[in-house]
Amino acid sequence: MSTSWEDLVSTALVGADRRSASPGEVLEHAAVEVVRARAGRRTHPDRPPAPAMEETRPLASRAAGDRLARMLGGDQARLLPEWLEAAAAIGVRVPAHLIPGLLDLGARDRSIRSHLGALTGARGRWLAELNSSWRYLLAEAADLPSGDVWEFGTSGDRRVYLTALRATAPGQARELLEQGWEKETPEDRAAFVLVLSERLGMDDEPFLEAALDDRRREVRQAAADLLTRLPESRLARRMAGRAARLLVADGGGLRADPPKACDSTMERDGVRPRPPAGTAQRGWWLQQVIARTPLTFWTGHLGRSPEDVVQSKIGDWAREVAMGWTRAAILQHDPRWARALFEVEPLTDLLAVLPPEEQSARAAELVARHPVDGQMIMMLGGVARPWGPRLARAVLKKIVETSGTQPWNAGELIRLAGERLDPAMHGHVQEIPELAATLRFRHDMSKELS
């Protein structure tokens, strides 16, 4: 039988017996193909690759490396992001033999990539140059570089450099970006605009206003998001002008009249003309205009407090208006509007706008009042760890109440609690063995990475 990967997949799909092969042969040839693919590319006999640069980070402890190997093998795999975050924070790198497994995982899971650039060190970058599946690593940040990195570094290193400069000299960082803006790749332009979110101010407004004309949609959207956070920006004033006509007070309630068209000026300001599947076109435009209107505008325009505004009856288009305000509260990081909207609908993204202590307290109230369901699990997943004592008590009580009647829901709640409770509680939850084991695992992990 042919042993190309495509032929092996085809044989597995149609059945080994139809290709005059035994299942054992198919698996054997598949194993050979996997090993061959992982062996890397064939080098030119006269030009072997240059050696990796010297490592600058110390190696993680043997105990920490052993635990990482266990997690990559499937033991408490859900805790891997926490291990990576903690290891990156203390400035270590992973053992070399674990780098391929991490890079394979990062190729499938974008959420863990942000720490891999630093944790895999010079060896990781060397490997990424040799394997196209791992090349994503070159766009991730490594340790803070020095010298001429802005001119010659990878996109990840340049982003680190610009971020560090933005923290100490925001104007200088913006000017550096402006100087070579037209020469940057579309991907880098989108990433660099987001760097300006730190220490954002009206000095950045002219640059961001100009970025609304960029060829790349991601750049335009990022610029519009940042301008939304500046109530005095030209974009914010244009959006407020539109919003004043689209949503007005009507007796004790509100009346919405969505846009009848999405013109080129609205598109330039970040309003996307084509709605998602199942969404009314005019409602989609209304939602986006409200999302980019300064929240401070509504209290003056409607003559009501945020709490009264979100409780007002709207009638038609009420859902689109509420979604617009929710998006605005998240974009503009407005805790008061987030609280008011959370009282109406407890969305996870609104919790993230609130301080961690308040997130935990509000989540505890919901856990105490509501049965365990998918919405509760999603909401709890947005509460920063470690959960506060009040939320911890509420969740533990709910686990005990649910275990006998809804073991499937209790199981998911136990797994989530294992990731978010203070690991020092491992000795106080012995009546829930799975939870105790996870917390003990995290407790030992933390000690190894301290």
pLDDT at 447 over 80: yes
pLDDT score at 21: 76
55 in any annotated domain = no
* For residue 258, cis peptide bond before it (omega within 30 degrees of 0): no
pLDDT at 233 over 70: yes
CB 65 within 8 A of CB 95: yes
For the chain, how many structural domains are there in total? 5
List pLDDT tens digits, range 52-84.
888 889 999 999 999 999 999 999 999 999 999
Domain that holds residue 27: 5-38
Q: Do 336 and 428 fall into the same domain?
A: no
51 in any annotated domain = no
Q: Which of 348, 382, 397 is the C-terminal boundary of a domain?
A: 348
254 in any annotated domain = yes
pLDDT score at 42: 58
48 in any annotated domain = no
Q: What is the pTM of this model?
A: 0.76
pLDDT at 86 over 60: yes
Q: Do 23 and 80 fall into the same domain?
A: no
Q: Can you list the alpha helix ranges (DSSP code H) found in 292-427?
A: 295-302, 306-311, 318-331, 335-344, 348-351, 356-369, 374-381, 389-403, 407-420
Q: Do 255 and 277 fall into the same domain?
A: yes
C-alpha to C-alpha distance for 157 and 125, rounded to whole angstroms: 12
List pLDDT tens digits, range 368-386.
988 888 888 888 988 888 8
Q: Do 425 and 388 fall into the same domain?
A: yes
57 in any annotated domain = no
For residue 383, give the nearest of 423, 417, 334, 344 by alpha carbon.
Answer: 417
pLDDT at 153 over 60: yes
pLDDT score at 245: 95
For residue 303, give the nearest of 256, 268, 270, 254 by alpha carbon.
Answer: 254
Mean pLDDT of the chain: 90
